[in-house]
Amino acid sequence: MSNASRTRDGLTRRRFVTGMGAGGLLAALPVPASASPVTTIAPGTVPAAASATWNLHVGRRRIEIDRKVLHAPCIGGNVPGPVLRWQEGDNVTLNVTNTLRDEETSIHWHGIRLPANMDGVPGLSFTGIPPGETFTYRFPVQQSGTYWYHSHSGMQEAQGLYGAIIIDPRRPDPNACVRDYVVVLSEWTDVSPMDMINNLKMQDDYYVFRQRTLASLPHEARMAGSVGAALKDRLQWSRMRMAATDISDVTGIIYTYLLNGHAPDMNWSGLFTPGERVRLRFVNAASMTFFDIRIPGLEMLVVQADGNDVEPVPVDEFRIGVAETYDVIIQPRDSRAYTIFAQSEDRTGYARGTLAPQPGMTGPIPPMDPRPVRTMVDMGMGDMKPGQDMKDMKGMDMPGMSKKDAPMDGMDMSDMDNGNMDHMDHMDHMDHMDHMDHMDHMDHMDHATPATPVMEVDDPGPPPINVENQNVARMPVDRLGSPGDGLEDNGRRVLNYRQLRATRPGTDPRPPSREIIMHLTGNMERYIWGFNGRKFSESGPIRLKLGERVRFTLINDTMMEHPIHLHGMWSELENGQGDYRPYKHTLISQPGSRLSYLVTVDVPGMWAYHCHLMLHMELGMFRTVIVA
Amino acid sequence: MRYVSLLAALTGCITCITGTPALAQVPSATATTTTTQNTKPAYHAADAPSSTPVVYLGNMKPVMDHASYFHGILDEFEGRYAPGGSDFRWDGEAWYGTDYNRVWLKTEGTLEHGHLHDGDHELLYSRAISSYFNVQGGVRADIDDGPTRTWGALGVQGLALYEFEFQATAYVSDRGRFATRIEGSYDFLLTNRLILQPQAEFNLYTKSDPARQVGAGLSDVDAGLRLRYEVWRKFAPYVAVSYAGYLTQARRIVHDQHEETGALRFTFGIRSWF
């Protein structure tokens, strides 16, 4: 409510001129949201005022972007859907009408704390919204910040059914800026998600055209020091039947990456006046893509993560996992155009927008960085050499290994990226080894008051190597201090999870009474995903007791990042910030890593718990959580 | 009997190629996981399979991870040219099913001067047994212009160490004979779309069958070196050199029948799948 004046300045007409045809023009048609002027303003612009009542119409609309035509499921004919602005403390009413011809729909309010029956997951919260019907979501808003919403039905989310949510805080917003934009990142393709699954089931690298080849050998040999070293590394990977170049399952070969619904050449633009502070609310609404975001020439001050304020962190770049949100503040002083550059993690494409003092300007587009290459750290082997006999490593699989105790500072990832695993010998791993020796379950001491009762631990043990799992992380390490594969030592200040410090101490000071260890597992070759070596349909639910405090520990045995999302409850990341743990709704579990977070189980009902890479979720990396 | 022991040796060899951990599933849980002196901890997964099923609203499962899929691939669909005689050959397979249980149909054959030989068709049930391997069992019928033979089949198929595609199948015929087929291929990526694939198939039999130009022991080989260009993933034309020939006893049988015992041919074809 405090920033009613902001809206028009952010409006850009460019989209209507160059834009997405039907989708863009439709925004002007009188359709859905009755209580706000949302459909008449440009994407990325924050509505003038919060509203407690919204009427949202879900339908399919023919939209063409980058010569890819899709009858996209979306709200009000727009991709992304309208920015919903709410006020903390309000009871919001959201009437969602399904105008799709013959498919049901649903809207999940991602990261919003609400009663389970309002969460919008068919089967768990309600029975979905059949065609022609309206479902009314009604719940009190008890939080503030930047969030988003998306369909949880039939993979509609991958095709356009998503949008941002902004909640004004009850108390004055320390990060309020007159200039305030939403930046929704996503993908666009005319390939249906079912086709993707079908293709990946037959050939797991179907969409990867950046593999190591004879043609890339000279380059690798230069990086590794010799042809022999490069070949040796390749042999080690092929012996494991995995690919070091396996970064994203679905790539820019079919995706056009969007920024507020704009392809790179459509150039979404936001205006600013030189010298003023601009708030950018980044939402990763993609279904399969992580983005690495920077604005060359500007420092970004990260002030919020997943809707919750954090102590400002100045960075040049940050990685945003699928479903995460970050708010940053920038202060462009020069009267020139700046490029918002969001390259996909696998560097097969980028989303791009422009911030400029006047409409119609374009900033320079930087070249993309080299694509990341996976290393043995991603395989969960710490600093082991590939092919080293794992029997030597028995006893190192420590259930209690503390993530806080093993900083990654000794690790020089740049060497490993060159593809020569032998360099890893130089890494001094003794820091975490030492800890392991003294660590019988005592590692949780620093969370616990002396009176802590013995903690119950649900430890599944190392996952089996079987049809559904192809790897076990023998030495999972703490990677909270790492910005992620491909970003280490790139010469820029890149955000990492360890830097996130909440501005307020956590609301629940209790230590956890129970620890749930979950291994993230999968078989890339068969394209099966799961937890603890099992996919969803072969597993039971996770049962939590109402009122209990639980520590979730994630061990990632796969060689990919997984953004893990628990519905309905906060995930308080234990990142060494003591009581100022950042509250998150989605956490990136890095490959070969171990991390933990605390959850106060305070809302009864059935909830979803899953990897937010949509195809991973759909193929088994999903669990039902029952709170009773 | 000599060849029966040969089969046993081959099985051992297969175990070797596929990698013991993959087939034998050495439980990784044997590692000690705690340094406490107490007995080893009782593992319990928070999401352990439960006998009380979750009742989903409207009986809607939140995700569909148990679907069936249907795919088919023509690995070889090619004309082979040589001064001594040209022929046409196909080799393909299709499968339908879930992650674990599938039905496979494999078929191959060679058409030469209007004469179909080496026609081999298999209907198999396939069960996933490890990260990269499936066990397959069913029936094989040799149907072409020669006499028809039927066999029971049992084999393994999958991705061996170093990413070799590999199949090995043992057969027992309705006349009490045994046979083995071993197939392998490997993809060398010259670029991300230009792929060089050496491939070979060997057939072994315990007894000769002159009517089908089969000899005891290593009977025939069909090999190729194919250079394909993946215009898109599912469509790749290729050029190749292929060799098809008879070996050992079969070679003498064929020679006595005054037919060609083996030829290297210039080949081009299409690899395609759906």
Q: Residue A540: its chain B contacts at CB < 8 A?
A: 47-50, 54
Look at residue B83 in the predicted model and tell me its pLDDT: 86
Per-residue model confidence as pLDDT tens digits over A291-310: 999 999 999 999 999 999 99
B47–A623 C-beta distance less than 8 A? yes
Probe site for chain A from B61, B63, B191, B235 (most A CB atoms < 10 A): B63
Encode pLDDT of A47-72 as tens digits.
999 999 999 999 999 999 999 999 99
Asked, as a colleague might, if the bond just before A80 is cis with ω within 30 of 0, I would say yes
A562: tokens are 């997984």
Per-residue model confidence (pLDDT) at position B38 = 52
A124 and B62 in contact by Cβ < 8 A?
yes
Asked whether residue A409 carries a pLDDT value surpassing 80, the answer given is no
The three state secondary structure string of A499-525 is HCCECCCCCCCCCCCEEEEEEEEEECC
Which tokens sit at A327?
A: 């708010």
Name which of A127, A210, A516 is nearest B60 (Cβ-Cβ).
A127
Chain A interface mutation, best of B17, B18, B26, B28, highest count of A Cβ atoms under 10 Å: B28
Q: How many interface pairs between A and B have CB atoms less than 8 angstroms apart?
A: 200
Per-residue pLDDT of chain B (274 residues; tens, 9 = 90+): 444 444 444 444 444 444 433 333 333 433 334 444 455 568 999 999 998 889 999 999 999 999 999 999 999 999 999 887 889 999 999 999 999 999 999 999 999 888 998 999 999 999 999 999 999 999 999 999 999 999 999 999 999 988 899 999 999 998 889 999 999 999 999 999 999 999 999 999 999 999 999 999 999 999 999 999 999 999 999 999 999 999 999 999 999 998 889 999 999 999 999 9
- The answer to whether residue B26 is domain-embedded is no
Domain that residue A458 falls in: 390-627
Judged by CB atoms closer than 8 Å, whether chains meet at A467 and B192 is answered as no
Domain of residue A157, CATH code: 2.60.40.420
- Residue A434 distance to chain B (closest CA, Å): 13
Using one digit for the tens of pLDDT, what is the confidence trace for A432-488? 333 343 333 334 444 444 455 678 999 999 999 999 999 999 999 999 999 999 999
Residue A447 lies in a domain: yes
- Across the interface, which of A440, A458, A608 has its CB nearest the CB of B45? A458
Residues in A touching B272 (Cβ below 8 Å):
none
DSSP helix/strand/coil, A498: helix
Environment class of A191 (CB within 10 Å of its CB; exposed 0-12, middle 13-18, buried 19+): middle
Residue A333 lies in a domain: no
The closest CB to that of B189, out of A128, A152, A211, belongs to: A211
**Residues 218-277 of chain A whose Cβ lies under 8 A from any Cβ of chain B:** 235, 238-239, 241
Boundary of a domain, candidates A133, A156, A174: A174
Residue A303 lies in a domain: no
CB atoms within 10 A of CB B159: 18
Q: Is B37 among the domain residues?
A: no
**pLDDT digits over A262-282, tens only?**
999 999 999 999 999 999 999
Read off the CATH number of the domain in which B204 is found.
2.40.160.40
Residue B192 has its nearest CB partner, among A121, A209, A462, at: A209
Q: And the tokens for A393?
A: 């490593």
Residue B38: inside a domain = no
Sign, Cα dihedral of A145, A339, A293, A80: positive
Mind spelling out the 3-state secondary structure of chain B? Answer: CHHHHHHHHHHHHHHHHHCHHHHHCCCHHHCCCCCCCCCCCCCCCCCCCCCCCCCCHHHCCCCCCCCCEEEEEEEEEEEEECCCCCEEEEEEEEEEECCCEEEEEEEEEEEECCEEEEEEEEEEEEEECCCCEEEEEEEEEECCCCCCEEEEEEEEEEEEHHHEEEEEEEEEECCCCEEEEEEEECCEECCCCEEEEEEEEEEEECCCEHHHCECCEEEEEEEEEEEEECCECCEEEEEEEEEEEECHHHHHHHHHCCCCCEEEEEEEEEEEEC
The three-class DSSP label of residue A465 is coil
Domain extent at residue B167: 2-14+69-273
Q: Is the residue at A395 inside a domain? A: yes
- C-beta atoms of A215 and B161 within 8 A: no
> CA A459 to CA A468: how far, in whole Å?
19
Chain A residues 354-413 with CB within 8 Å of chain B: 393-400
User: What whole-number percentage of chain A has pLDDT above 70?
Assistant: 82
Mean pLDDT of chain A: 86
Number of domains making up chain A: 2
Per DSSP bridges, beta strands A549-556 and A514-523 are parallel
Q: What is the distance between the alpha carbons of residues A289 and A344, in angstroms, rounded to a whole number?
A: 6
Q: Which residues pair with B171 in a beta bridge?
A: B153, B179
Taking the Cβ of residue A461 and every Cβ of chain B, the question of whether any pair is shorter than 8 Å is answered with yes
Question: What does the CA dihedral A321, A327, A333, A334 come to, rounded to 10 degrees?
Answer: 40
Structural domains counted in chain B: 1
A619, closest residue in chain B (CA to CA): B65
Is residue B229 domain-resident?
Answer: yes
Instruction: Order the strands of the A268-271 sheet from edge to edge.
Output: A268-271, A350-356, A338-344, A291-294, A317-320
Which of the residues A118, A536, A566, A599 would you substitute to probe the B interface, choosing the one with the greatest number of B C-beta atoms within 10 Å?
Answer: A536
Residue at a domain's end among A159, A174, A189: A174
CA-based diameter of chain A, in Å?
68
Boundary of a domain, candidates A122, A140, A174: A174
The answer to whether the Cα torsion of A70, A159, A206, B154 is positive or negative is: negative
**Residue A160 pLDDT:** 96
pLDDT surpasses 90 at A9: no
Spatial CA neighbour of A620 closest among B263, B66, B35, B272 = B66
In a domain, A184, yes or no: no
* Cα–Cα dist A600/A514, whole Å: 11
Least-confidence region, from A39-43, A613-617, B256-260: A39-43
| Amino acid A587: pLDDT | 98
Name the helix (H) or strand (E) containing A114: none
